[in-house]
Chain A
Amino acid sequence: MPESAPQVAVIDYGMGNLFSVRNACRRVGLDATVTSDPAVAAASGALILPGVGAFGDGMQALRDLGMTRVILDAAESGKPILGICLGAQLLMTESEEFGRFKGLGLLRGPVRRFQGPQEEGRPLKIPHVCWSPIRHPDAMQAAPWRGTLLDSVAEGEYMYFVHSYVLMPEDRAMVLSFSRYGQVEFCSSLRAGSIYACQFHPERSGPPGLTVYANLRRLLLERGRNER
């Protein structure tokens, strides 16, 4: 492949439609392969773990495919990982969705159901299906998104969300962005080293969402150059 198209594996574990993710990758010049083969995933430059559905089912599907080892190894080796929506939640320690399930544990903290979001005294509908702005965390530094997958996304930019559960990282330093649903503030993306988790769907969030994928491409090109 020419340098312009780094390879990424979009992990297909039967949880939702992955073609929008693949299309977004292709749009920004990533060579994306949708795969449920652990060997193909292991050979790629980065992993994208998308998904829509229930946490327990998702973990079970990853185990059945033999994909958990590949993801953990990738994290260990510093290979970029991007979890999206359910995929983001699976990177966490555990979830209480329909029971209590252990996650991949790459990011410390649980996944919890939205706690009573409301607006003007009326309860808001769950799932949260909405375009909502993403905001900087209460960061000390001036440009907290510089050099991350949110690089050059404007603060307050709208992203598209579909979810009932939220990421609850133990370490606030991991929080990349916050968003609100009614009065409830929640973590809408987080980062630990080369591991990223987005609660929103960048592939459905228009040009600002595509920026996330374009940043992943740039990150991979930089990694490629450093390794040579």
Chain B
Amino acid sequence: MLTKRIIPCLDVRAGKVTKGVKFKGNVDIGDPVEFARLYYEEGCDELVFYDITASNERRDIMIEVVRAVAEAVFIPFSVGGGLRTLEDMRRVLLAGAEKVSVDSGAVRNPAIISEGARAFGSQCIVLSMQAQRVAPSARIPSGWEIFIDGARTPTGLDAVEWARRGEGLGAGELCVNSIDQDGARSGYDLPLTRTISEAVAIPVIASGGGGSAQHIYDVCTQGKADAAIVASIIHRRDTTIPELKRDLAARGLPVRMNW
């Protein structure tokens, strides 16, 4: 089994890390560069930043954050949120991000995936998706529908079909977020993650619901995920990256332990 990655996710609003539950009620909890440095020193494998700044004019703050993070941490990190054009992607990559992540922008304009892959390489294009359980129907046969705009707007897209389409367009990785599990810390959505993982050949990052090492172990084994996003459990210091990794290694999951 290839090494499973543990990826802290930081939601950033106007230059501050925030944490919300089920996409509502975000509160600022600190400086993204400080968080990044701490998790880097603790040995996380990668970092994810989502810019959830509402207004466009304040997006330059995020570029400054990316630049400062790139000077502080020496591991891959991806940046998403509000990226709509190749130029948006280029700015983030030039500021020092290794990957860009597209979500609502890709639903509205799927060509951004293929254009990004062609311009910067598939390995740096992550397709992030918000999936919610719905009654299976002719339109949504898998029973998971894609939502956009902070999980507020249904799209009528089937999550499995969208995942396959994203892969076909050249996404190098999928980040699958379960709206049902988001912020609940009761475990990742195993059937969702497994269904998507089995439908594509590119790596799948599980997101939403991670509350313990057991949850990460489950989603990387039963859920067939290649990586797991962690957020509130480490932001609140309920546990730490080294603690999680020691626990996972003791369970026999291959993780990078060495420092």
Q: Contact at B40–A204, with CB atoms within 8 Å?
A: no
Q: Cα distance A129–B124 when bound, in Å?
A: 10
Partner-binding segment picked from B8-16, B91-99, B175-183, B185-193? B91-99
Are A157 and B258 also in contact (CB < 8 A) when A17-B94, A129-B123, A129-B203 are? yes
Chain B's closest residue to A162 (CB) is B123
**Nearest CB in chain A: distance from B199 CB, A:** 14
Chain B's closest residue to A210 (CB) is B74
Partner-binding segment picked from A19-27, A57-65, A136-144, A215-223? A19-27
Are A19 and B96 also in contact (CB < 8 A) when A53-B121, A156-B258 are? yes
Q: Which of B45, B70, B256, B258 contacts A23, CB < 8 Å?
A: B70
Q: Which of A23, A124, A208 contacts B96, CB < 8 Å?
A: A23
**Nearest CB in chain B: distance from A212 CB, A:** 11
In this complex, how many residues of chain A approach chain B with their Cβ under 8 Å: the count is: 31
Q: Cα distance A53–B123 when bound, in Å?
A: 11
In this complex, how many residues of chain B approach chain A with their Cβ under 8 Å: the count is: 28
Q: Contact at B259–A207, with CB atoms within 8 Å?
A: yes
Residues in chain A near residue B95, CB distance under 8 A: 19
Residues in chain A near residue B43, CB distance under 8 A: 206
Q: Cα distance A156–B3 when bound, in Å?
A: 13
Q: B27 at interface (Cβ–Cβ under 8 A)?
A: no
Q: Which of B1, B3, B40, B70 contacts A206, CB < 8 Å?
A: B40
Interface string of B1-26 (1 = CB under 8 A from A): 11101000000000000000000000
Q: A132 at interface (Cβ–Cβ under 8 A)?
A: yes
Residues in chain A near residue B3, CB distance under 8 A: 130-132, 158
Q: Cα distance A124–B40 when bound, in Å?
A: 28
Residues in chain B near residue A17, CB distance under 8 A: 93-94, 96
Q: Which of B45, B71, B201 contacts A125, CB < 8 Å?
A: B201
**Nearest CB in chain A: distance from B201 CB, A:** 6
Q: Contact at B40–A20, with CB atoms within 8 Å?
A: no
Q: Cα distance A182–B194 when bound, in Å?
A: 22
Chain B's closest residue to A163 (CB) is B123
Q: Cα distance A208–B258 when bound, in Å?
A: 9
Q: What are 13 pairs between A and B in contact, CB < 8 Å?
A: A17-B93, A19-B70, A20-B96, A23-B71, A129-B203, A157-B258, A158-B256, A158-B258, A160-B75, A203-B74, A205-B75, A206-B43, A206-B75
List 12 additional contacts besides A17-B93, A129-B173, A157-B258; criterion CB under 8 Å.
Answer: A17-B94, A19-B95, A20-B70, A27-B71, A27-B74, A119-B2, A125-B203, A127-B122, A160-B75, A204-B98, A206-B75, A210-B74
By a beta-carbon cutoff of 8 Å, the part of chain A in contact with chain B is: 17, 19-20, 23-24, 26-27, 52-53, 119, 124-125, 127, 129-132, 154, 156-158, 160, 162, 203-210
